[in-house]
Amino acid sequence: MTSEIPDEGGITDELRKLASIATDMQLDGKMRNEAVKQLGEIGSHEALLVLLNLAANDKLNIDERDLALKKARDIVKKGR
């Protein structure tokens, strides 16, 4: 399954791989959540964009979308 991350400059292969894992419904939910947490730990602007994209992805369940939004919010708070 391919991730739905736009082809923008600054989105690294690592971010694409984590996004792909986070959206791969064939994988266990724990593994998908771990990918989202790792995106939050990266903490870059690009990771924030990926997390917001995941939060908007209606193919993910609500808890996964909420986790992505929480991690995105954490990145924004760190930037203050």
Hey, what are 42's tokens? 């990266």
CA distance 18 to 39: 7
pLDDT on residue 10: 66
Instruction: Answer for the pair 55, 68: CB distance below 8 angstroms, yes or no.
Output: yes
Higher-confidence residue of 36 and 79: namely: 36
Residues 6 or more apart whose CB falls under 8 angstroms from that of 46 comprise: 10, 11, 12, 15
pLDDT on residue 6: 53
Question: pTM of the prediction?
Answer: 0.86
Residue 80 has pLDDT above 70, yes or no: no
Q: What is the pLDDT of residues 12-64, one digit of tens each?
A: 999 999 999 999 999 999 999 999 999 999 999 999 999 999 999 999 999 99
